[in-house]
A and B are shown apart, each in its own frame.
Chain A
C-alpha cells in the first residue's frame, strides 16, 4: 500500500525540533533529539525502535501527557507546548490511547467500557450512547459479548472492545502502544487492520509503536527511532 500524501488531510500533529531529556545536571539523560514530524488525517504512522530508544517518550509527548524539554508541539493547529488547564483538557479529549494491555475497566462490562469512551466528549448523548456502543461492538464481531466482563474475553476481544471505545469518541489522534504484542498473529492482524480502516474512514491520525514486523505493511509511513534520533524507513509491501 503506497503512501499517498496528497490524498491525506491536514496535519493533526506537528512536532518541530522536539528535544527531550530526563533529570538535570549530572543526572541528565537525553532521550530525544531534533524530532521533526508531521502526521496527517487518515495516516497510520508506525514507530519502531529497540527498547530504550525513546519510542514511549515520543508517544507520551505526542499524546500531550508529557511536555517536551525543547521544541514545539502543535495539535490540530494549536500550539500545545505550554498549554495548560481546561484548554489542554479539551484538546486531550480528542486523543485516544490504545495500550498493550490493561485497556479495559475490569468492573465494567464490554458495553459500559465502550460507553466510557464517549461520556466525556461533546458527542455524548445519553439516548444514543448505548445504541452506538452496541453498533460498534456488533461491527467488530462482539455483538454477543456486550454484557461480558473483560475477564471473560480473550486478549484479542479485549483489544477490539478497546478499539470500539476509541472509535465511539471519534478522536482526531489515536496513540497505540504495542497493541498487538500480547496477541497471536490472527488477532494482532485484525486489530491493526481495524486501526488502519479507522484512520482512513474516520479521518484520524494513528501513531502505533510496535516491534512486530508482520504488521509494518499497514503503515502509511514507518519511523524508526534509535538512540533518540528518528528517521523514516521505506516500507516493503507484500
Chain B
C-alpha cells in the first residue's frame, strides 16, 4: 500500500527553550481544553460521577447554609446598631455586645455634655422580657428598647410617625418584623387599634399590662423573637425607676464642625475608664466580633464551613481517583506521547471543574430555596448576597485545586513502560 504523506504546510520546527511556568501552564491548559478527554471519561464513569456530583452538591449546600446562617446571625445582631443616629457612642468600658447587658452610668451624660464638641446626648436602654396577648398560646421573649422620646437614639422605620404615641405611659410600639409567634398583633396594631398585651410579672406575680399602639420595623435576632420600642417613662413604670440610671449606651451628637476623632479622644480622657467612647462603625464591628468569636455560633459556622470544604474535596478527589485508576494505561499512553505534568494537572482540573460547575449551580439553586424557607421561619435576614456567592465560588475553586493536586500525585505512578507489559 503506497502512502502519500499529507501535503499541508508545516510550521517551522521551533527550538526548544525553557518556558516560564505560567506560559507552560497556559499552553497545557489550551491543549487540555482542546481535548475533551476528562469530560468523556466522566461521562463513561457514570456511577462515580453521579455519586461525586451528589456529594459535592451536598457539601456546597452545607457551605451555603453556613454562610447564610453566619450572615443572618451577624446581620440580625447589628440591626439596631445600624439604626443609631449618633456620631459617637458612650458604651461600657470594654464593650462587646448589647446582649451582655452591660450598662453605662447615666451620670456620664453630664461629663460628656460638658465637652464643647458635643451638641447633645441620647441614651438608649435595652432589656428583654416575655410578652403575650389574646391571640398567643404562650408568651414569647422579645427585646425592649427604651428611648428618650424627645431625643430618640435610634431611627427605625415607623418610629418617627408613632413617636408621639409613646408619650403616654404603657404605650409601646411593636416590631412588625418579629417572628410569626405573635399572631395578628402587628396587623391589628398597624390598623391603628390599641392592643392590650401582657408583659413580665411584677413582685406580686401580676402580669404588667401594656398597649401596643403602632408598629416599627427592626427585626428579630437569634436570641429574641421580636422587639418593642418603649419610652423611658414606660420603662420606669413597668420595670422600675432604677433602670433610668443604667442605659445600655448613650448616643453622642457632635456640634457642627467638631472633629470626630479629637472629640472622641477628649471624651475618653474625660470619662477616665468609667465608660468608652467609640464610633458607630466600631460599635457594629464589636458586636459582630462578639458573635463570631465569643459565641458558639461563630465556631459552629466556621467548623461546618471547613467540613463542607473537606467533604467537597473528598468527593471531587473520589471522581478523579476513579478515573485515574480506571484509565491509568491511557494516561501512560498520553505520557508516551510527550504530555507533561502541566497537561495532566489541567486534565485532572478539567475533571474537577466538570464536577464542580454543575454541583455549584445546583447547590446555588437549592441554597436559594433553603434560604427562602429559613427566612420565612426565622426572619433573620437570610439572603443570597454577593459575599455568599463569591465565598462559595472561592471554596469550590479551592476544592478543585487541592483535590486535583492530590489526584496528580496518583499519576506519578504512571509509566509508559507498563504498556510494554
Interface of B is mostly: loop
- Is A105 a contact partner of B420 (Cβ separation < 8 A)? no
- Is A135 a contact partner of B6 (Cβ separation < 8 A)? yes
A4 to B416, CA, bound (A): 33
- Is A99 a contact partner of B419 (Cβ separation < 8 A)? yes
A105 to B417, CA, bound (A): 17
- Is B417 a contact partner of A66 (Cβ separation < 8 A)? yes
Q: Which of B1, B8, B35 interacts with A135 by CB under 8 Å?
A: B8
- Is B3 a contact partner of A197 (Cβ separation < 8 A)? yes
A104 to B3, CA, bound (A): 22
Near A by CB (< 8 A), chain B positions 1-18 give: 1-6, 8-11, 13-14, 16, 18
Question: What are the residues of chain B within 8 A of A202 when measuring CB–CB?
Answer: 5
Near B by CB (< 8 A), chain A positions 74-133 give: 86-87, 89-90, 92-93, 96-97, 99, 102-108, 112, 115-117, 119-123, 125-126, 128, 131-132
Q: Which of B3, B13, B417 interacts with A65 by CB under 8 Å?
A: B417
- Is A112 a contact partner of B338 (Cβ separation < 8 A)? no
Q: Is the CB of A56 closer than 8 A to any CB of chain B?
A: yes
Question: What are the residues of chain A within 8 A of B14 when measuring CB–CB?
Answer: 122
- Is B16 a contact partner of A87 (Cβ separation < 8 A)? yes
Tally B residues with Cβ within 8 Å of A. 39
Q: Which of B3, B334, B338, B339 interacts with A194 by CB under 8 Å?
A: B3
Q: How large is the interface on A (under 10, 10 to 19, 20 to 34, 35 or more residues)?
A: 35 or more
B139 to chain A, nearest CB (A): 66
Given known A92-B338, A122-B11, contact A102–B333 (CB-CB < 8 A): yes
- Is A197 a contact partner of B6 (Cβ separation < 8 A)? no
Question: What are the residues of chain B within 8 A of A125 when measuring CB–CB?
Answer: 11
- Which B residues fall within an 8 A CB radius of A? 1-6, 8-11, 13-14, 16, 18, 31, 34-37, 40-41, 44, 327, 329-330, 333-334, 336-340, 343, 415-417, 419-421
- Which A residues fall within an 8 A CB radius of B? 56, 59-60, 65-66, 86-87, 89-90, 92-93, 96-97, 99, 102-108, 112, 115-117, 119-123, 125-126, 128, 131-132, 135-136, 139, 165, 167, 169-170, 177, 190, 193-194, 197-198, 201-202
Q: 26 A-B contacts, Cβ less than 8 Å apart?
A: A60-B420, A65-B415, A92-B338, A96-B337, A97-B336, A97-B416, A99-B420, A102-B329, A104-B333, A105-B334, A106-B327, A107-B40, A108-B36, A112-B36, A116-B334, A121-B338, A123-B11, A126-B34, A132-B6, A177-B420, A190-B1, A193-B1, A194-B1, A194-B3, A197-B1, A197-B3
